[in-house]
Amino acid sequence: MKAAVFYYSQSGQALKAAESFCGLMSAVFKEIIPLQKYPFPWSRKDFFQAFPESRLGLPPSGIEPIDFSDIEDADIAVVAGQSWFLSPSLPLQSFFLDEGVRAYLNGRKVIFINACRNMWLMTSRRIKEYLSQAGATLVGHIVLQDRASNLVSAVTIIRWLLHGKKEATSILPPAGVRVEDLEGASRFGEETMRVFESGDLSGLQPALLEKGAIKYKPSILAIEKTGHRIFGFWAKFIRKKGEFGEERRQGRLSLFYYYLLFVLFCLSPLVQLFFWITYPLRRVQYNKLIDCNV
C-alpha cells in the first residue's frame, strides 16, 4: 500500500503522528509550505492575527507548488495537520483551496490526521466540505489530542505556543499530545493496511474507531459548537475593520483576546458543569454527533 502524505506542522507534532501512522507503509511525504509564513513560537499579535481568516476560511496566501509526479500511483492520500481557532489551520486551508491539489485529490480516498489540543469537530466538518468540493472522499479520521483537562491544556498550550515552553513544571503536565499517543498512531496505520487488503476502504472508519482513533469528550464538543458560532460573529466583526495584517483591525483583535481569556478560564468551566448536569437529556443528540464523524 502506497500513501501520499501531505503535512503541515510547526513543532513537528502533526508530522510525528503521520510518521507513526505510516510506519509499515510505503509513504512519500510532501510538506505543505504556505507562502505566508506563520512564526513559532508565536507573538500574541501574530497569533490573534490568524483568527478571522482561520474561522472564515480565507487564508491570506496560497502554498508552494507540490510535485505530484511520484505520487500519482498512491493508493491513499493522508493529510496531517491541526486545528486553528476551531477550523483547519490556515496552511491546511490554503492546501485544500489549491487548484493543483484539488485536481490531485479528485477521485481519491483521504485519511485526515488531526494533532490538536481538544477541539476538532468543526475542523473535520470543514475538511469534509473541502474534500467533497475536490471530488475526494474522507475514509478515515484520526484525532490525537491533549489528555489534560480543558482548563489545564489551555494553560499549557499558551505556554507552548506563545513562549515555546513545552516541558512539564512541578504543577503542569507537558503541553500537547503525549509522545506515546503520537507513537501509538502506528496501530491506526496497521489497521488501515489490514482493511485496505480486504479491498474495501468504506469500512475503515468503524475499524479505526474500534482502535480508539477518536476519543469523544461530549462536554468539549458542546463548548466547541457554541464557540464556533460565536467565533463567526467575532471574525466578521474584525474583518470589517481590515484584512490580514492590517493595523486598523488591531483594536478589535485585542478585544477578542480579552474575550477569549474570559471564555477559556471563566465561562468554559461553568458551561462544562451545566453540560454534565443536563447531559442525560442530551445523550441521544451527542451520540448522533459521534456517529456522523466521517
Binding footprint of ligand FMN on the chain (CB under 6 A)? 9-11, 13-14, 47, 50, 82-86, 115-120, 157, 161
Cβ 21 to ligand FMN shortest distance, Å:
14
- For 106, 157, 202, 271, 287, the CA distances from 53, given in Å and listed in that order, are 25, 21, 33, 27, 31
C-alpha cell at 152: 489545564
In terms of CB distance, is 68 or 259 closer to ligand FMN? 259
Cβ 50 to ligand FMN shortest distance, Å:
5
Cβ 263 to ligand FMN shortest distance, Å:
12
C-alpha cell at 111: 485519511
In terms of CB distance, is 9 or 268 closer to ligand FMN? 9
C-alpha cell at 156: 499549557
Four-residue CA torsion sign, 157, 163, 167, 169: negative
C-alpha cell at 263: 471564555
In terms of CB distance, is 43 or 202 closer to ligand FMN? 43
Cβ 197 to ligand FMN shortest distance, Å:
30
Shortest CA distance to 193 belongs to which of 62, 12, 22? Answer: 22
Residue 33 burial (C-beta neighbours within 10 Å; 0-12, 13-18, 19+):
middle
Cβ 171 to ligand FMN shortest distance, Å:
21
- Residues 211 and 184 sit within 8 Å (Cβ to Cβ): no
In terms of CB distance, is 49 or 192 closer to ligand FMN? 49
Cβ 238 to ligand FMN shortest distance, Å:
14
- For 8, 215, 248, the CA distances from 269, given in Å and listed in that order, are 31, 20, 33
Look at residue 111 and give its three-state secondary structure.
strand
C-alpha cell at 66: 507540490
